[in-house]
Structure formats: C-alpha cells, structure tokens
Amino acid sequence: MLRKLSPAGELLLVNLLCFGPFAVMSARDLMQSLATHSTTLLYDDRRLYTFVAIEVVCGTLSILLLRARGWRRSDFGLRANFPLTIAGLVLFLVANVSIAGLYLLFKTATGLDLVARMQPVTRTTWPALVLLLAIDPLYEETFEVAYNIRATEKLGPAFGITLSAAIRLICHLYQGPIAPLTILPLGLIFGFVYWKWRRVWPLAVAHGWAMYFGLHS
C-alpha cells in the first residue's frame, strides 16, 4: 500500500506526521497570545519532554514509512565528523549575525521592538534540556530540511528551500510577531546551506547552539 503512494502523497503524509502535532500546538499558543495581547514563551520540563516524546514516536513512524518507500539513511547526508561540526559552529555564527542585522534594520525602519514584547520563562532541568538537544535538532533538520529538499529536488532549489522554511515558521508561530523576522530567515539560510552541502550535521549543530542559547538567554 505504501509503495503505491504517490510522491506528493508521501510528501504530505511525512510532513503531517512529523510536524502536524507541532503546528497544532503552535497555532493554539499563537491564539492564546493574540487573546492576551502578549507573547509568553514558557519552557518547562513538561513541554520539553512532550516535544521529545512526539519526535520519538513520529520520527520512528516516519523512518519506517520512508524505508518501506525505498529511502536510505545515506539519502539524507547524516554523516557527522569534526569538520562538519566546525562548519555547524560557523553556520550558527553567520546565521545569527545575519538575522540580528535583519532585525536591526526592521527595528530602525519601524521603531518597533518586538523582542521587548516577548516574555520568555525558562524552568527546565538539565536532563530535559540535554535530551531535547540530543533529539530535536537532528529530528527537525532531517525531516524538515533534508527530506523536503531531497523529495522535491526535481522542482529546483527554490521550492524545497521555501517549503522547509515555511514548515519551520508554522511550527514556531507560537513565538509571535518575531517569528517571521527570525525563524523564516533561519529556515531559508539552513535550506540554502543544505542544498549546497547535502549534509544534515552542520544544520543540527547550529540548531543545537541556537536552541541552547535561546533557552538560557
């Protein structure tokens, strides 16, 4: 049955499976923020463990689905080594400087400081944080970027890069008005880098550092 699924059907099914739950939670949180006119970002152990549980279950199901469809681990570029780790650190720095510059231009042009409107609340313990850092970056960058770009590469880089960035944005809408200025450009940068390098590890390293500093800012 799975082998008879069309490429478009597979693309839709994998994305719904991997990111449907996060899109629903993100939309719920966004609606709450709009209702209260404030963006409160609560990160506690319950939230982190929920993320991890969803990723383990949905990731496992997606792997089984893709194996049945003929995909192999090597198709995604999951190899990790020291040079790729250094490349990930450089990517983290370049992406953050670029996004900070973009935000500064927006703030200067509009006079709006969207960051000041955010209320991050972090109540995580180290076991929850370490578990999230071990799973979430690889999960997101593998399924969000690598899979979407490889599955749609016949349509050219613009389609796959835009698709992966759009899915990333949808899953992070809970961050409020700041998301289009931070999450969207990050998704475009990561998508472009993957298209050029075809390696997940640098993206996962950069993602991990961004997540760590985001939870400890």
In this prediction, residue 120 carries a pLDDT of 72
CA angle 56, 161, 172 (to 5 degrees): 50
Query: What b-and-e string marks burial along 23-60, b requiring 16 or more CB atoms within 10 Å of the CB?
Result: bebbeebbeebeeeeebebebeeebbeebbebbeebbe
Angle between helices 126-140 and 201-215 (to 10 degrees): 140
Of residues 81 and 38, the one with the higher pLDDT is 81
In this prediction, residue 4 carries a pLDDT of 80
117 pLDDT more than 80: no
* Those residues with Cβ within 8 angstroms of residue 170's Cβ, 6 or more apart along the chain or in another chain: 19, 23, 26
In this prediction, residue 43 carries a pLDDT of 86
Q: What is the DSSP letter of 200?
A: S
**pTM score > 0.75 for this model?**
yes
**Please, what is the average pLDDT of the chain?**
93
At 47-99, the pLDDT tens digits run 999 999 999 999 999 999 999 999 999 999 999 999 999 999 999 999 999 99
* Those residues with Cβ within 8 angstroms of residue 177's Cβ, 6 or more apart along the chain or in another chain: 39, 114, 117
- Is residue 86 situated within a structural domain? no
Q: Of the spans 32-46, 150-164, 170-184, which averages the highest pLDDT?
A: 150-164
- Is residue 128 situated within a structural domain? yes
Of residues 61 and 35, the one with the higher pLDDT is 61
CA 75, CA 61: separation in Å to the nearest integer?
18
33 pLDDT more than 80: no
Residue whose structure tokens are 């979430």:
136
Cβ 162 vs Cβ 144: under 8 Å:
no
Cβ 171 vs Cβ 165: under 8 Å:
no
- Is residue 169 situated within a structural domain? yes
Domain of 150, in residue numbers: 8-66+98-215
Residue 167's pLDDT band, with cuts at 50, 70 and 90, is: very high
41 pLDDT more than 90: no
Provide, rounded to the nearest whole percent, the portion of the chain with pLDDT above 90.
79
Total of domains in the chain: 1
- Is residue 88 situated within a structural domain? no
